[in-house]
Chain A
Amino acid sequence: QKEVEQDPGPLSVPEGAIVSLNCTYSNSAFQYFMWYRQYSRKGPELLMYTYSSGNKEDGRFTAQVDKSSKYISLFIRDSQPSDSATYLCAMSVLNAGGTSYGKLTFGQGTILTVHP
């Protein structure tokens, strides 16, 4: 079983839709949760990060973490064609100093297409 599971999709939605992207994880030691966006032929770009359970909002994006269920989500409101990309969840164990040992564990990525 993979430590982080993410539905690869593909997911196709009309412009303006609310998109929900999800990951589940098995390692209860994960404390740091991130969402990255990756366009074709580019490296991943950090969208959001959070340490705690609950919601964190940034513009059209909301990251949600439920540590008791080992489940994280990313919601995109008013989706745009420019949001078409692969979305990757990532998570990490933190050491006593609050750093990650360098290792992020990624989900497989969900391919999202927003059509006009």
Chain B
Amino acid sequence: EAGVTQSPTHLIKTRGQQATLRCSPISGHTSVYWYQQALGLGLQFLLWYDEGEERNRGNFPPRFSGRQFPNYSSELNVNALELEDSALYLCASSKGYGYTFGSGTRLTVV
């Protein structure tokens, strides 16, 4: 069974640009979660999508947004990038107990 896959692995953007990160959940999982892992801040909850709808949102500004597609894959968009957005962005999926995480996208803003 394929795990949670994320692309790209690494992304380098300039301040002010937009970044798009993609996630494919485990087959059969309908919920997708996005987390940010920034140095010194730990894992912070960003967004939860289920059945195509945004179900919950963490304490992040509106320039962090995303969507979930009919095949349950998801993308995270970060607009007007700031230097402090540099982090590992992790996607997870679940079907009940426990979340399975992907290996993440390392976003670097320069």
Residues of A at the B interface (CB closer than 8 Å) are 34, 36, 41-46, 49, 88, 90, 101-109
Contact = CB atoms under 8 A, between A and B. Distances in A.
Interface of B: 4, 31, 33, 35, 42-45, 47-48, 50, 55-56, 58, 90, 92, 97-104
A74 to B, nearest CB: 15
A41 B90 CA distance: 11
Nearest to B31: A102
Q: Determine chain A's interface SS by DSSP, over half rule.
A: loop
A82 B25 CA distance: 27
14 contacts: A42-B103, A43-B104, A44-B101, A46-B99, A46-B100, A49-B97, A102-B45, A103-B45, A104-B43, A104-B45, A104-B99, A106-B42, A106-B44, A109-B42
Given A41-B103, A44-B43, A102-B31, A49 B56 contact: no
Max chain A Cβ within 10 angstroms of own Cβ: one of B48, B90, B99: B99
Q: Determine chain B's interface SS by DSSP, over half rule.
A: strand
Nearest to A47: B98
A106 B33 CA distance: 14
Q: Which 10 A-B pairs have the closest CB atoms?
A: A102-B48, A43-B101, A106-B43, A103-B45, A46-B98, A102-B56, A108-B42, A43-B103, A44-B101, A101-B56
A101 B98 contact: no
Contact of B55 (A101, A105, A106, A107): A101
Nearest to B97: A49
Given A43-B90, A44-B90, A108-B42, A103 B48 contact: yes
